[in-house]
């Protein structure tokens, strides 16, 4: 697919993408289109996906065939190649600058969640800049293990590198504006409480978390981690993280976390009696009247609308090419063939767990993740010492509230946040919420912010400039910021630590800390507890941190 793209800067990073699925495309697309970096090679085990990705973003941009060092069957093959290449450079057999032997500067890790820990730990010793798709890992232990491995390798190498995570919500223009209003301009004063909702979407839940890859906690992780860890990050970024990462103030960490949630709808006891023993939509007697019918979801709502991207490409990766080369009927026949695949009671459990079953009855699947969950996070007063950077001294009045007039609590007063993830919604992942403050309140949805002032009685409408792309522009903005951070290091403009703060906005410690909040919430849900943050940290985090990061017993 020959495209015209802006010429990248001489210091634009050369990038390896590991995993050519939807998120790999979501990051590579804007990078190639806008010239933020060079997509230099891809590691992907599925031949069709590998060829499609390279055709769009690597060799296809120049209208030529793939070169051997531009595609790899998997990350292990690339790793072996890279170690051999470095060995040959070290012996002088080849030169680092030779075009046909050039390495990469950065790696985008876009493989399945449960593979992240292996890939990141294997790549870390190479000193490359790493952007890992969320979640960082699927267990608390693995998240801390990644933190320990990356920081140890930085010490061994004598320098840091950029480390990013796919917490895309914090990069969307909408949320950047929202945080500026709440934290920098403090247009509603101190935050008292906040409600934030992620509407998963009725068919999206069925596709990804009932029939798809993320349906089982024992194979991947709880849905609060796999689907909503960036919502938890968004809340903590908005309410806990320092306003300005460069000033070094400590975060205002929660005091208590609790959660409730369960699998409420997608279970066998909800199956319509008229469906009888059918386990696959294509053989179900009520298929035509069932909203969750695979034919209704994938054919009526997507294929018939000529929407051949996600989720259809997850079911049949080659469907777009089939449609173009062999016609609509052939593409539809292949889609129906994929939807007809089913398992029986005799199918080994290991085989059932290995793959997704997109034609399976939603009430007969082996899913066990929550389809409705609520998390409550509460903070206590935790003022910074007088004279800290939080006291900015300004007296500029905005919206009836004096900016900087934070009182003795320096903007770190007690507050509460409630997060609600729910499946049966019309909207698909279009977040919405409300923030209540001492001087006003803010209501926000996917693209608009409404700011109400108690002092004036007026409501201001704020519409941030949209930029397109997934997650309200967050995917594109994350890719851009990460590439800018790497470019600043490669050009010598900044060291990695400064560039990390300037462009990424958080370090690996904050990334891990916000993941730990998810695991604390899951502990609360499973054990019906109110988790004390300090106690959870002391008992479940600190010992492993000492062992993994500091090397202490």
The SS3 of residue 363 is coil
For residue 221, cis peptide bond before it (omega within 30 degrees of 0): no
Which among 553, 552, 546 is positioned nearest to 147, based on CA atoms? Answer: 546
**Cα–Cα separations (whole angstroms), residue 129 to 72, 133, 147, 380:** 19, 13, 14, 37
Helix/strand/coil (H/E/C) assignment for every residue in 156-212: HHCCCCCEEECCHHHHCHHHHHHHHHHHHCCCCCCEEEEEEEEECCHHHHHHHHHCC
- Check whether domain 14-169+473-507+537-548 has CATH 3.40.50.720, yes or no: yes
d(CA 105, CA 133): 17
Name 26's Cβ contacts closer than 8 Å, sequence gap at least 6: 469, 470, 475
- Do the beta carbons of residue 137 and residue 116 sit within 8 Å? yes
Predicted confidence at residue 42, as pLDDT, reads 98
pLDDT at 407: 59
Alpha-carbon 537 to chain mean position: 24
Identify the CA nearest to 437 among candidates 417, 467, 463, 464. 417
Question: By the 8 A CB rule, do 540 and 513 touch?
Answer: no
Element (H, E) at 495: none
CB contact at 8 A, 265 and 424? yes
pLDDT at 550 (0 to 100):
67
Note whether 189 and 401 are within 8 A (CB).
Answer: yes
pLDDT digits (tens, 9 = 90+) for 135-145: 999 999 999 99
Burial of 118 (0-12, 13-18, 19+ CB in 10 A): middle
Confidence at residue 395, expressed as pLDDT on a 0 to 100 scale: 35
CATH topology of domain 173-265+368-469: Dihydrodipicolinate Reductase; domain 2 (3.30.360)
Strand, coil or helix: what is 481? helix
Distance CA 257, CA 263 (A): 21
Percentage of residues in the chain with pLDDT exceeding 90?
85
Opening angle at CA 462, ends 458 and 466, nearest 5 = 170
pLDDT of residue 404: 39
Output the tens digit of pLDDT for each of the chain's 553 residues.
444 567 778 899 999 999 999 999 999 999 999 999 999 999 999 999 999 999 999 998 888 999 989 999 999 999 999 999 999 999 999 988 788 788 999 999 999 999 999 999 999 999 999 999 999 999 999 999 999 999 999 999 999 999 999 999 999 999 999 999 999 999 999 999 999 999 999 999 999 999 999 999 999 999 999 999 999 999 999 999 998 887 888 999 999 999 999 999 999 999 999 999 999 999 999 999 999 999 999 999 999 999 999 999 999 999 999 999 999 999 999 999 999 999 999 999 999 999 999 999 999 999 999 999 999 999 999 988 765 654 343 334 333 333 434 456 877 999 999 999 999 999 999 999 999 999 999 999 989 999 999 999 999 999 998 766 677 788 999 999 999 999 999 999 999 999 999 999 999 999 999 999 999 999 999 999 999 999 999 999 999 888 877 665 5
Q: Which of the 8 DSSP states describes residue 66?
A: P
Contact present, 227 and 168 (Cβ < 8 Å) = no
Do you know the residue count of the chain? 553
In this prediction, residue 403 carries a pLDDT of 42
For the sheet with 38-43, list strands across it. 71-72, 38-43, 14-18, 106-109, 129-132, 163-165
| Lookup result for tokens 């594109």 | 476
* CA max distance for the chain: 74
Report which of 409, 367, 370 is spatially closest to residue 388, judged by C-alpha positions.
409
Q: Is 510 exposed, middle or buried (0-12, 13-18, 19+ CB in 10 A)?
A: buried
Domain ranges in the chain with CATH number 3.40.50.720: 14-169+473-507+537-548
Q: Three-state DSSP class for 330? A: helix
Q: Which of 552, 521, 514 is nearest to 536 (CA)?
A: 521
């Amino acid at each position: 697919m020959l495209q015209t793209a802006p010429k990248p800067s001489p210091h634009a990073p050369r990038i390896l993408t590991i995993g050519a699925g939807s998120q790999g495309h979501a990051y590579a697309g804007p990078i190639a289109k806008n010239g933020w970096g060079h997509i230099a090679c891809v590691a992907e085990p599925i031949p069709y996906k590998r060829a499609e990705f390279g055709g769009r973003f690597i060799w296809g941009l120049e209208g030529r065939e793939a070169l051997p060092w531009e595609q790899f069957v998997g990350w292990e093959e690339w790793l072996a190649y890279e170690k051999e290449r470095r060995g040959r450079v070290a012996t002088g057999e080849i030169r680092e600058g030779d075009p046909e032997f050039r390495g990469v500067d950065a790696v985008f890790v876009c493989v399945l969640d449960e593979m992240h820990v292996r890939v990141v730990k294997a790549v870390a010793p190479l000193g490359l800049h790493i952007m890992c798709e969320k979640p960082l890992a699927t267990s608390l232990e693995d998240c801390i293990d990644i933190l320990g491995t990356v920081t140890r390798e930085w010490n061994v190498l004598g320098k840091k590198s950029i480390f990013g995570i796919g917490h895309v919500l914090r990069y969307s223009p909408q949320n950047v504006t929202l945080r500026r209003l709440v934290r920098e301009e403090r247009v509603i004063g101190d935050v008292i409480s906040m409600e934030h909702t992620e509407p998963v979407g009725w068919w999206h839940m069925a596709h990804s978390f009932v029939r798809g890859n993320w349906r089982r906690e024992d194979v991947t992780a709880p849905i609060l981690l796999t689907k909503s860890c960036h919502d938890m990050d968004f809340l903590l970024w908005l309410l806990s993280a320092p306003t300005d990462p460069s000033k070094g103030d400590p975060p205002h960490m929660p005091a208590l976390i609790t959660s409730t949630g369960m699998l409420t709808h997608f279970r066998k006891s909800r199956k319509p009696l008229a469906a009888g023993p059918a386990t696959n939509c294509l053989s179900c007697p009520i298929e035509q009247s069932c909203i969750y019918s695979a034919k209704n979801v994938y054919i009526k709502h997507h294929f018939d609308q000529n929407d051949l991207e996600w989720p259809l490409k997850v079911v049949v990766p080659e469907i777009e090419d089939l449609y173009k080369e062999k016609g609509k009927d052939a593409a539809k026949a292949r889609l129906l063939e994929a939807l007809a695949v089913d398992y029986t009671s005799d199918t080994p459990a290991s085989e059932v767990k290995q793959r997704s079953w997109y034609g399976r009855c939603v009430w007969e699947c082996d899913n066990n993740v929550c389809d409705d969950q609520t998390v409550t996070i509460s903070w206590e007063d935790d003022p910074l010492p007088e004279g800290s950077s939080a006291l900015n001294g300004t007296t500029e009045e905005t919206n009836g509230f004096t900016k900087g007039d934070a009182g003795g609590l320096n903007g770190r007063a007690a507050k509460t946040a409630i997060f609600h993830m729910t499946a049966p919604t019309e909207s698909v992942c279009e977040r919405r919420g409300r923030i209540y403050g001492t001087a006003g309140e803010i209501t926000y949805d996917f693209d608009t912010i409404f700011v109400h002032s108690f002092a004036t009685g007026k409501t201001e409408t704020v519409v941030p400039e949209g930029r397109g792309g997934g997650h309200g522009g967050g995917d594109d903005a994350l890719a851009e910021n990460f590439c800018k951070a790497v470019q600043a290091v490669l050009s010598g403009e900044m060291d990695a630590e400064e560039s990390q703060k300037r462009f990424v906005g958080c370090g690996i410690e904050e990334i891990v800390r916000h993941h730990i909040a998810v695991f604390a919430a899951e502990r609360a849900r499973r054990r019906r507890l109110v988790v004390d943050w300090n106690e959870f940290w002391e008992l479940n985090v600190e010992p492993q941190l000492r062992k993994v990061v500091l090397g202490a017993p």
